[in-house]
Structure 1
Amino acid sequence: MTEILKYTAFSADPSGGNPAGVVPDATGLTEPRMLEIAADLGFSETAFLFPTGERAYRIRYFSPLAEVAFCGHATIATAVALGERIGPGTIELATQAGPVPVDVTADPESGRLSATLTSPPVSSTAASDDDVARTLAALGWSADDLDPAYPPHVADAGNLHLVLAAATRARLADLDYDFEALGKLTAERNWTTVHLFWAESPTVFHARDPFPTGGVVEDPATGAAAAAFTGYLRDLGFIGADTAITIHQGVDMGRPSLLAASPIPHRPNTKVTGTAVALP
């Protein structure tokens, strides 16, 4: 019988964060069976592990509708789940987007585990005016709802995310989009999510991530988007090469999540850190 674990990532509270499935040993499972498990769980992602060595695994990620190359929150959930079994230390994950090492550490006082992933290489390119216009139409937003200080870009950290800055926190909070229209566009462009954010300060951000391509209205915490967004901020000069940022996500969904991220100096990758806790 296949063992299936349930964790929520980027929160120490089971009522917060982004739930993910974790299959510690998926040896022998077919793609249809993995997709079936992911669909039955109904979480935005489920991670399937294939042991390849000591503290080393090949990992695949499935949403309820499709496989994705890389998923941050399921990686954090997986690393904490493994850390509880094999102890703190580095876990080597081989994803379809490339190697993703994860460092699992224990808080010296509480003993609570957290995980820090090193993302695949990050890049960012300007979004086309047509793509922005179509996205705004699907969101029910106007151009005036965007913060002109942050240009729309498509950021990549193992998968693609359209990055759009909301002009106000109220605009970000009021999200009621056309699921079919945005899903069609994201599928056409191969975007995993649309990363909507509002800048509270130069290093503190609030985010929301519609995920219609995966059959999910919204992600409560999106580690891959956080990695891509951090690279976007660095590449466009909004943060320094070693500046740490904080991202609040899931608040408007009632599942508050906290993501910490930073660039890696002299490397094209970024780091994303979070906790995770088992679900009943």
Structure 2
Amino acid sequence: MTDLTPRRPPEPPVGEAAMLRVFVDPAAGPRGGNPVPLVLDARGMQAADMQALAAHYGHESAFVLPADAPDHLCRLRFFVPGHEMEMCGHATVGTLWALRQWGRWTTPHARVQTLSGSVDIEWDEARGWAWISQPEVTTSPLSAEQGRAIAKALRIESTLCAINASTSRVKTLIRMPSVAALDALAPDFDAMRGLCEAIDSTGLYPYAVAGHDVYARQFPKASGYPEDAATGIAAAALWGYLANVRVVPTDRVCTVRQGVAMGSPSAIQLRGRKDAPGCWLSGETRWIP
């Protein structure tokens, strides 16, 4: 039998990217997940260089720099084609997985720096996953008028429930009546930026609950593309909100499935923290040949 698993690539030279695919759903084939261009050594790169690399690849990109705080493994910066981000869940998960494969991270636990603050990390030897921490969710209600504006942008008659939620960046959670209704969404993307600015959000995250899983789609405010295949921090905010209202359990792993409507099925894994408020976020990562 031929082994089709991509081999571990050599460490890329300074300023160059290796390619990962994060939050892959193994049951859905090799094309799922969200791509991440990863620059292992970004020393000497300016912000404009990092943004240009993200624009070249068209994906959220991660850049590894030496830590400037004690007891941290490294410092991470993240760019999309349009701007820098304080935090990127799937890029962090993928970067730490790659650092493990290259032997750059060998301890069971560590911390990394981001513009959003320090992130706790732990290695799951059994699954071969890197888990990263997300803080306790904060939420804020939206008015009826704002709900109508969201429904208009999504081209639906009304929203069942819409609320802003955040573990690092604010996402707007919109409950849909079914997975079929979620998959059928065809938003007005031209209205997305103005709407998100009006409701103080960085993207719309409609979702539907189906059994033990949650399905979601992410329409970002201004990332340079209309839809995201897997959004870790949005999934963390959604998990926190659903856990607070007791829709999902906190004592076992919950899967948020995203990217299905795009043809890039992703599986984002979340579980509650026992040692602190918030949750752990992880998923399967693979090399892109």
Q: How far did residue 182 of structure 1 move?
A: 1.2
Deviation sequence 1:233-256 (CA, Å, 0-9, x none): 122333454353211111111111
2:194 corresponding residue in structure 1: 184
2:171 corresponding residue in structure 1: 161
Return closer, same or farther for 1:154/1:266 CA change in 2, 3 Å cut-off. farther
User: Which of residues 135, 141, 144 in structure 2 aligns to 1:126?
Assistant: 141
2:73 corresponding residue in structure 1: 56
CA distance in 1: counterparts of 2:197 and 2:57, whole angstroms: 22
TM-score normalized by the length of structure 1: 0.89
CA distance in 1: counterparts of 2:221 and 2:280, whole angstroms: 26
CA distance in 1: counterparts of 2:16 and 2:197, whole angstroms: 31
Q: Which runs of 4+ in 1 moved over 6 A?
A: none
CA distance in 1: counterparts of 2:271 and 2:30, whole angstroms: 25
CA distance in 1: counterparts of 2:136 and 2:85, whole angstroms: 16
CA distance in 2: counterparts of 1:101 and 1:159, whole angstroms: 17
TM-score normalized by the length of structure 2: 0.86
2:85 maps to 1:68: yes
Q: How far did residue 279 of structure 1 move?
A: 0.8
CA distance in 2: counterparts of 1:37 and 1:15, whole angstroms: 22
Structure 2 alignment gaps of length 5 or more: 1-13
Aligned length: 269
Structure 1 alignment gaps of length 5 or more: none
1:35 corresponding residue in structure 2: 51
2:98 corresponding residue in structure 1: 81
CA distance in 2: counterparts of 1:83 and 1:272, whole angstroms: 17
Higher fraction of strand = 1
Note if contact 2:150-2:195 (Cα within 8 Å) is conserved in structure 1: yes
Identical positions, percent: 29
2:31 maps to 1:15: yes
Superposition pairs for residues 1-280 of structure 1, below 5 Å?
A: 1-11=14-24, 14-43=30-59, 45-52=60-67, 56-86=73-103, 88=106, 89-107=108-126, 113-143=128-158, 146=159, 148=160, 151-201=161-211, 203-265=212-274, 267-280=276-289
Cα RMSD between the aligned structures?
2.0
